[in-house]
Amino acid sequence: MSQVCSNCLQTRDIIHFQEPTRSYKTCDKCRTNRKRRRTHSATSDVQQQTNELIPTIISNNNSNSNNNNTHDINGSSSMSNSDNNNNNNNTIPLVTLENLNENFAALTMHQVEGYDYEARISLDDTLLGLNDMDIAKLLCHKMGECDTYKYILKTVNPSTARKGVASFYANCSQSMALAKSKYNNGTTSPDQQQQQRRRNSKQRKRFDCKGRVSASIDRIARQAHVIIQHDIRHEPPEPSRKTPNEVRALIQRETIMTGRSAKDIHADVRQQFPDLNITPAQVYYWWREFKQEVAEMSSTITNTNTNTISSSTVDNNNNNNTIIDLVTKKSKTCE
């Protein structure tokens, strides 16, 4: 029996969520990491309090010294305290979106199997003008450009304790954590089996990569703290099959004006757009959609012009242009 961890979203055996006296929604690995962070935070607090007591002890031992020397000691001690608090942030590289790809490649090239990457990304005025959701989508897209993977943004949570701070996380689109669960005991329902038989596209390949992006946006500090984790390197997802607008416009024009077949139009598309790798199925889909819409529009125009058609000659070019305009407006509203 398995259970999904509420923190890392990984499916693990039920024993990782139970202790002799109670059960948890988070796995034992996440609980151990949380305890470690709490212990480190408590140790840092004790160290900070100790550092704050040092100036007082020094001033008591040197009570006979003049005030100028006392102020110098206190000033140098406070500076050392602030330096200690910023040591952790200084070890994390601060990069911009322009050199993010170069920095990522330099820090992960030696990690063969998987990789862990952490960085602070500087946010300029243009980025700070966006809302938290748009910043998160942009960062996920930029991180996907670095490692050639695609990350699905899950949620963006504004902080209730600190103003101007928000956190978000995203999973690798090919991760097993995003795979849809099976029906019963690993089998699919009859309806799902029938739908799979009708499926024309390949199913997405899944990997147990545990790919994940965890990040926080700090508007006050004008930076974003990003962590990328991938347990294994796997093949990237297939490129998007979305048909660009200029290709659809070509298919629409050839379908309405010349009435050519989808096969002939696909040859023209491959010749004019060789780098897009447009498939015959894509051309046929839009060819069929435009043919159906043309038939509907033609019947509408014929019904409205029944009286005028019998007494005058209709200009075919004008009719075709009218149909193109109507089909274009309809396709835009459906997008």
In a domain, 187, yes or no: no
Q: Which residues contact 90 (CB under 8 A, 6 or more apart)?
A: none
pLDDT at 138 (0 to 100) = 92
Q: What is the pLDDT along the chain (335 residues), one digit of tens a residue?
A: 788 888 888 888 888 887 777 788 888 888 888 888 777 666 666 566 666 665 655 555 555 455 455 445 444 444 444 455 455 566 888 999 999 989 999 998 888 888 999 999 999 999 999 999 999 999 999 988 888 888 989 889 998 888 899 999 999 988 888 776 544 444 555 555 555 555 445 677 888 888 999 999 999 999 999 999 999 988 888 766 678 888 888 888 888 888 888 888 988 888 888 887 788 888 888 888 888 887 777 776 666 655 554 444 444 555 555 555 555 555 554 44
- Predicted local confidence at residue 36, as pLDDT: 80
Q: Are residues 76 and 43 in the same domain?
A: yes
Residues 6 or more apart whose Cβ sits within 8 Å of residue 203? none
Q: What is the pLDDT of residue 33?
A: 84
Give the position of tokens 């470690």: 36
Radius of gyration for the chain, computed over Cα atoms and rounded to the nearest angstrom:
31
- H-type helices in the chain, by residue range? 28-61, 67-85, 87-91, 100-108, 125-128, 132-147, 190-197, 245-253, 262-272, 280-304, 306-311, 316-334
Assess if residue 72 is contained within a domain. Answer: yes
> Is the whole-model pTM more than 0.75?
no
- The predicted pLDDT at position 47 comes to 65
Q: Does residue 212 share a domain with residue 130?
A: yes
8 A C-beta contact, residue 135 and residue 123: yes
Q: Final residue of a domain: which of 45, 75, 90?
A: 90
Predicted confidence at residue 308, as pLDDT, reads 53
pLDDT of amino acid 125 = 92
**Number of C-beta neighbours around residue 285 at 10 A:** 15
User: In this structure, is residue 235 part of a structural domain?
Assistant: no
DSSP string, 6-24: TTT--EEEGGGGB-SS-B-
Structure tokens at 103: 């920095």
Among the candidates 61, 90, 119, a domain finishes at 90
Same domain flag for 80 and 107: no
The distance of Cα 290 from the centroid of its chain, to the nearest Å, equals 33
**Co-location of 99 and 72 in the same domain:** no
What lies within 8 Å, CB to CB, of 70 at 6+ separation is 59, 62
Q: Is residue 191 part of a domain?
A: no
Residue 74 in tokens: 């206190």
Which 8-state DSSP code applies to residue 240? P
In a domain, 108, yes or no: yes
Q: Are residues 127 and 78 in the same domain?
A: no
Using alpha carbons only, what angle is made at residue 216 by residues 210 and 219, rounded to the nearest 5 degrees? 160
Could you give the number of structural domains in the chain?
A: 3
Q: What is the pLDDT of residue 73?
A: 44
Domain co-membership, 141 together with 177: yes
pLDDT at 176: 85
Q: Indicate if 293 and 173 belong to the same structural domain.
A: no
pLDDT at 78: 46
What domain range is 80 assigned to? 2-90
* Residue at 199 is within a domain: no
